[in-house]
């Protein structure tokens, strides 16, 4: 792509980088790909996709590598610490070089400003594979899983319990609002969502028919919910484990909490799970848990996202993106 074209390159750095219509398109494509897993090969050539990690990963690493291969492409998995970035080459210079080689860049890193810097210098799409602030690829898989169970996402209530300030909570707020869901975050003081992200999610929800709420009472948050979600209480890079466990224990997802949800409610957890901390084993391994479908759907959702992004030529429309 030349410079003029790169101004229109679409990135997926946070959940609201896709409009409601675009998010639905990607989810529709993910469903179609899931039904014909080996029959869709737009990256045949093969097109290379660089997948960089500054943090550990099992699911994200495997699902991107598998998915890029199934699209007919060549996955290049790089532990960023072993690249020249680990010796201080700038993010922008790395992006300039990668753009001359690969069709897309996927990166798991710490600060959101790092992936924004990558995107700003990249002539190819950049995908957020988790930052401290967001985990948008995970939410696409979660939405695909919810649609499989309920036939829709809009109008459903998703209640998330635990660390309301982490990447999953923020992505449920933004991605759920884009999807027209009612998103409840149940968390104690000191673990509340970023106020700017909460404000943005509320603004989007007004336009999509969804809503966002932050609650300090776990039972109230669970009442009548269609989807119960949680995540580790100690995210990668965080310390103070004992204090965090003590603070978050009232927000544990257990049988009593599940009993307050709607009949037919499902449990989501992005994994890895820590049984008897954020979720009890009976619930995680019980009949309402769909966590293995959810983990499988990382593959289908990311194949859809990557192929959608590399073929998207239209600039993001201000109206369409809300």
Q: Which of 19, 23, 57, 131 binds ligand CP (CB under 6 A)?
A: 57
Q: Is residue 280 within 8 Å of residue 253, measured between CB atoms?
A: yes
Residues 126 to 155 in contact with ligand NVA, rule: CB under 6 A = 130
289 binds ligand CP (CB under 6 A): no
Asked whether position 231 contacts ligand NVA by CB under 6 A, the answer is: yes
Strands of 104-108's sheet, edge to edge? 74-79, 48-53, 104-108, 126-128
x/- track of binding to ligand NVA for residues 173-212 (CB under 6 A): ----------------------------------------
Rounded to whole angstroms, the Cα distance separating 180 from 153 reads 7
Handedness of CA 138, 140, 144, 146 (dihedral sign): positive
Q: How far apart are CA 62 and CA 130, in angstroms?
A: 14
**Site map 75..114 versus ligand NVA, x via CB under 6 A:** ----------------------------------------
For the record, the structure tokens of 40 come out as 């869709």
Q: Are strands 104-108 and 211-215 parallel, antiparallel or unpaired?
A: unpaired
232 binds ligand NVA (CB under 6 A): yes
Q: Which of 80, 214, 236, 316 binds ligand NVA (CB under 6 A)?
A: 236
Spatial contact of 251 and 188, defined as CB atoms under 8 Å apart: yes
| CA separation for the pair 247, 86 (Å, rounded) | 35
Residue 195 is encoded by which pair of tokens?
Answer: 């106020």
Q: Which residues of 91-111 are buried (b: 16+ CB within 10 A; e: fewer)?
A: beebbeebbeebbbbbbbbee
Task: Give Dmax over CA atoms of the chain in angstroms.
Answer: 57
Per CB under 6 A, which region of 29-37, 164-172, 176-184, 242-250 contacts ligand NVA? 164-172
* Catalytic residue check, 135: yes
- Within positions 86 to 145, which residues make up the interface with ligand CP, using CB under 6 A? 130, 138
- Of 63, 144, 145, 166, the one binding ligand NVA (CB under 6 A) is 166
Name which of 173, 179, 131 is nearest 155 in CA terms. 179
Using CB distances below 5 to 8 A depending on partner kind, what does residue 10 bind out of ligand CP, ligand NVA, none? none
Is 270 a binding residue for ligand NVA by CB under 6 A? The answer is: yes
Using rule CB under 6 A, residue 270 touches ligand CP: yes
- How many residues contact ligand NVA, by CB under 6 A? 9
Report the residue number, 19 or 294, with the smaller CB distance to ligand CP: 294
Residue 250: DSSP 8-state: G
Q: Which residues contact 80 (CB under 8 A, 6 or more apart)?
A: 52, 53, 54, 86, 107, 109
Which listed residue (47, 270, 294, 300) is catalytic? Answer: 270
Task: Decide if 96 is catalytic.
Answer: no
Active site residue 226: no
What's the burial of 265, exposed, middle or buried (CB within 10 Å: 0-12/13-18/19+)? buried
User: Residue 254 Cβ, how far from ligand NVA at the closest point, in Å?
Assistant: 20
Residue of 102, 48, 101 whose CA lies nearest to 71:
48
Q: Is 100 annotated as a binding residue?
A: no
154 is annotated as contributing to ligand binding: no
Active site residue 182: no
x/- letters, 58..77, toward ligand CP (CB under 6 A): xxx-----------------
User: Is 138 part of the annotated catalytic residue set?
Assistant: yes
Residues that bind ligand NVA (CB under 6 A): 130, 166-168, 231-232, 235-236, 270
Q: Which segments are annotated as binding site for L-ornithine?
A: 167, 231, 235-236
Catalytic site positions: 108, 135, 138, 231, 270, 298
Residues that bind ligand CP (CB under 6 A): 57-60, 130, 138, 270-271
Q: Which segments are annotated as binding site for carbamoyl phosphate?
A: 57-60, 84, 108, 135-138, 270-271, 298
């Amino acid at each position: 792509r030349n410079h003029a074209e790169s101004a229109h390159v679409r990135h997926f750095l946070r959940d609201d980088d896709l409009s409601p219509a675009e998010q639905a398109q990607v989810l529709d494509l993910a469903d179609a790909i899931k039904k014909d897993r080996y029959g869709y090969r737009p990256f045949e050539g093969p097109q290379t996709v660089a997948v960089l990690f500054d943090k550990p990963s099992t699911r994200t690493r495997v699902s991107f590598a598998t998915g890029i291969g199934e699209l007919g492409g060549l996955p290049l998995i790089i532990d960023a610490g072993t690249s020249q970035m680990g010796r201080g080459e700038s993010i922008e210079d790395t992006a300039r070089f990668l753009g001359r080689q690969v069709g897309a860049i996927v990166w798991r890193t710490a600060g959101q400003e790092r992936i924004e810097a990558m995107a700003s210098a990249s002539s190819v799409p950049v995908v957020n594979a988790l930052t401290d602030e967001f985990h948008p690829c995970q939410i696409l898989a979660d939405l695909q899983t919810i649609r499989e169970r309920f036939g829709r996402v809009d109008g459903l209530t998703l209640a998330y319990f635990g660390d309301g300030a982490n990447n999953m909570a923020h992505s449920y707020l933004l991605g759920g609002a884009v999807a027209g869901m009612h998103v409840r975050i149940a968390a104690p003081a000191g673990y509340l969502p970023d106020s700017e992200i909460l404000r943005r999610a509320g603004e989007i929800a007004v336009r999509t028919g969804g809503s966002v709420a932050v609650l300090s009472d776990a039972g109230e948050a669970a009442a009548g919910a269609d989807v119960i979600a949680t995540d580790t209480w100690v995210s990668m890079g965080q310390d103070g484990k004992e204090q965090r466990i003590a603070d978050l224990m009232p927000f544990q997802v257990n049988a009593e909490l599940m009993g307050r949800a709607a009949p037919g409610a499902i449990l989501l957890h992005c994994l890895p799970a820590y049984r008897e901390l954020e979720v009890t084993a009976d619930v995680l391994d019980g009949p309402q848990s769909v966590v293995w479908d959810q983990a499988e759907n990382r593959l289908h959702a990311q194949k859809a996202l990557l192929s959608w992004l590399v073929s998207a030529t239209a600039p993001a429309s201000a109206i369409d993106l809300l």
